Structure 1
Amino acid sequence: MKKRNIKNTDLSVAPVNFGGNIFGWTLDEKQSFEILDKFTYAGFNFIDTADTYSWWVNGKGGQSEEIIGKWMKSRNNRHNLIISTKVGSETKEHGFDISRKHILKSVDESLQRLQTDHIDLYYTHFDDHKTPVEETLSAYDEIIKAGKVRYIAASNLSTERLKASFEAAEKNNLPKYVALQPHYNLMEREGFEKNYAPLVKQFDLSVFPYWSLAAGFLTGKYRNETDFTKSQRGEGVRKYLNEKGLGVLRALDQVSAKYNTTQGSIALAWLLANPLITAPLVSATSESQLETLFNAPNLELSSDDIDLLNKASQ
């Protein structure tokens, strides 16, 4: 499988980024190990998590990192993997927190849970709007120089704070973000394409979109309200069950039939056909869902296919 370089780094990743938010939530430890084994056996090497996953289960998070850490230790495969995690969880006194104090504390806790001595890609998960960007980047500079983190990236930053971060990094010789993790898929296009794509080009960022399959809607399994009971995420796709959403599903049905593959694989292939996208972030809880991920990088959509999907999703 042809790997893709994360821009401005020496990291190469397979073109699908596995989302670890399901570990300790919809998958227990044993099931998580099985999925991770199959994912990496197929040649994929890029795993994403956060210090807050899965806080919605126990109110504090950390389960996902712990499971990944136990799995890497048991398989002795850390050297084969690119691991990303995030900082910026809420604290009582601060809200979303990317202060120096919180970063220095959080990185050590993540390293301990992951049972590793370094994090390849460390994200600002949420922007707190209180901490100066210079303080955040200086803290990242400390942990990079200490060997705890290799590169930094941004997730839910406003365009203004993202630009301010690059200006501060340039002015003060501080680390620069190398990647962006935005909300982007066939059902959610405007925010990225209008606001962030110009900055991605300007700052030469790699892009790893989250919710690449729109919480499962783009797999085609939700066609009416009775389908919402099919998974724990069912209610989350209600907003897509409208004229536009059904039109996108019809387009996916047409293109997937042409290639004899799944709607989800086509939705991911649409992302991968965009030169700005490096590796979509997506989860899987079964072998059939893994096949959807595995097939996507092998699909080369025609310009007609892409036009059809673009028109349906506008």
Structure 2
Amino acid sequence: MQYRRLGRSGLQVSELSLGSWVTYHNQVDTKSATEMLAAAFDAGVNFFDNAEVYAQGESEVVMGEAFKALKWNRLDYVVSTKFFWGLERTSNTDTNRRNTLNRKYLMQAIDGSLKRMQLDFIDLVYCHRPDANTPVEETVRAMSDMITQGKALYWGTSEWSAADIRAAWEIADKHSLHKPVMEQPQYHLFHRSRVENEYARLYEDTGLGLTTWSPLASGLLTGKYKSGIPAGSRGSLESMSWMRDALQDKAKNEAVAELEKIAAELGGNVAQLAIAWVNRNPRVSTVILGASKLSQLQDNLGALALTPKLTPEVLARIDAICKPLAK
């Protein structure tokens, strides 16, 4: 396992990390989460990603219980959470609880996450989506204050446009506030433009780091959806029904079949190839993996062996297959 700086910060994160979206509480209980976090940690993973909205807060509870059981030194792991969507609606007057980045919501959201995760501070906190109804300066000041108060160490964004990230960074710079350090975008073989084109100037201008999600395109790049939606898969979950059409995209599944041949030549499988492809991008600080069982996590960690095998010739072959289908 290699470690990379998170943007221009001094924080070092493992090139592969482990996230909890979809799986924790829904598919993974505390015992299984503890087992997988321990296996990831033993393999060198030091960053674990979460969000307030995952399983309506229960994902944070599961991860917090796992950390408590593992009794790791707090210096040895990095944990994140994200704010915007809020938790389940409880009344007709909770407009400051959901889909917002206003100060009232953010300053209470961090306290809720700290309580659920049983932590004194959270290393990385993200604005999970942009909020067009709150002035950017208000959001920047609230996120900066989380850090000043010692409740978080670094802050960043997730799925923000380059223009919005730059605006937030410039406001922080102008007022000597804590600047956004990282962005968490979707990035995989079929979703490339934002990371490779839109953010291009930000890497040099602001030192933006990336903690990318969905390297397997929600499972499409595992090859498991070539013949439909298998029982027990992420795509079979009712809460994930919105992604079923994408998972059954005929052209992309045909491309996955071609990628499987390249992966076999390199001594791996298509999931490992897809993760390695993201990992080989020097702009990516860490690639967030998801897993519903230990064997899946162990298999995905095998991407480390494939990363150095992605020569320019291999990358050109991959591009010829995937780039025409990418956005």
Asked if these proteins are the same fold (TM beyond 0.5), I'd say yes
The amino acid of 2:185's aligned partner reads: P
C-alpha displacement at 1:44, in angstroms? Answer: 1.0
C-alpha displacement at 1:306, in angstroms? Answer: 0.9
Partner of residue 173 from structure 2, selected from 161, 170, 174: 170
Partner of residue 265 from structure 1, selected from 267, 272, 278: 272
Partner of residue 313 from structure 1, selected from 299, 322, 325: 322
Q: Quick one: distance in 1 between partners of 2:46 and 2:60?
A: 16
Please state whether the residue corresponding to 2:199 is helix, strand or coil: helix
Cα pair 2:187 2:214 within 8 Å, conserved: yes
Partner of residue 84 from structure 1, selected from 57, 70, 80: 80
The amino acid of 1:158's aligned partner reads: S
Q: TM-score, normalised by structure 2?
A: 0.88
Q: Quick one: distance in 2 between partners of 1:268 and 1:179?
A: 20
Q: Quick one: distance in 1 between partners of 2:212 and 2:156?
A: 13
Cα pair 1:251 1:308 within 8 Å, conserved: no
Q: Is 2:35 the partner of 1:39?
A: no
Runs of 4+ in structure 1 displaced over 3 angstroms? 227-230, 240-244
- 1:209 aligned residue: 212
Q: Is 2:72 the partner of 1:71?
A: no
Q: Quick one: distance in 1 between partners of 2:251 and 2:209?
A: 29
C-alpha displacement at 1:34, in angstroms? Answer: 1.6
C-alpha displacement at 1:203, in angstroms? Answer: 1.9
Deviations 1:76-110 (A, max 9, x none): 11331100111112474144111111111011111
C-alpha displacement at 1:228, in angstroms? Answer: 4.2
Deviations 1:95-133 (A, max 9, x none): 411111111101111111111111111101122211111
The amino acid of 1:5's aligned partner reads: R
Q: Quick one: distance in 2 between partners of 1:275 and 1:43?
A: 19
- 1:57 aligned residue: none
The amino acid of 1:231's aligned partner reads: S
C-alpha displacement at 1:304, in angstroms? Answer: 1.2
Q: Quick one: distance in 2 between partners of 1:221 and 1:116?
A: 37
Distance 1:72 1:242, change over 3 A: closer
- 1:281 aligned residue: 288
Q: Quick one: distance in 2 between partners of 1:12 and 1:148?
A: 19
Q: Is 2:15 the partner of 1:8?
A: no
- 2:299 aligned residue: 292
C-alpha displacement at 1:230, in angstroms? Answer: 4.9
Cα pair 1:187 1:240 within 8 Å, conserved: no
Q: Is 2:226 the partner of 1:233?
A: no
Q: Quick one: distance in 2 between partners of 1:157 and 1:147?
A: 25
Please state whether the residue corresponding to 2:300 is helix, strand or coil: helix
Cα pair 2:143 2:155 within 8 Å, conserved: yes
Distance 1:158 1:7, change over 3 A: closer
Q: Quick one: distance in 1 between partners of 2:245 and 2:205?
A: 35
C-alpha displacement at 1:293, in angstroms? Answer: 2.5
Cα pair 1:247 1:312 within 8 Å, conserved: no
C-alpha displacement at 1:19, in angstroms? Answer: 1.1
**Bigger mean CA offset, 127-136 vs 1-10:** 1-10
The amino acid of 1:180's aligned partner reads: E
- 1:58 aligned residue: none
Q: Quick one: distance in 1 between partners of 2:203 and 2:27?
A: 33
- 1:255 aligned residue: 262
Cα pair 2:34 2:67 within 8 Å, conserved: no
Partner of residue 116 from structure 2, selected from 102, 113, 117: 113
The amino acid of 1:18's aligned partner reads: L
Partner of residue 103 from structure 1, selected from 106, 117, 132: 106
Please state whether the residue corresponding to 1:143 is helix, strand or coil: helix
- 1:131 aligned residue: 134
- 1:27 aligned residue: 28
The amino acid of 2:59's aligned partner reads: S
Cα pair 1:123 1:155 within 8 Å, conserved: yes
The amino acid of 2:9's aligned partner reads: T
C-alpha displacement at 1:189, in angstroms? Answer: 1.8
Deviations 1:285-305 (A, max 9, x none): 223311232111232111111
Q: Quick one: distance in 1 between partners of 2:302 and 2:311?
A: 16
- 1:18 aligned residue: 18
Distance 1:205 1:260, change over 3 A: same
Please state whether the residue corresponding to 1:153 is helix, strand or coil: strand
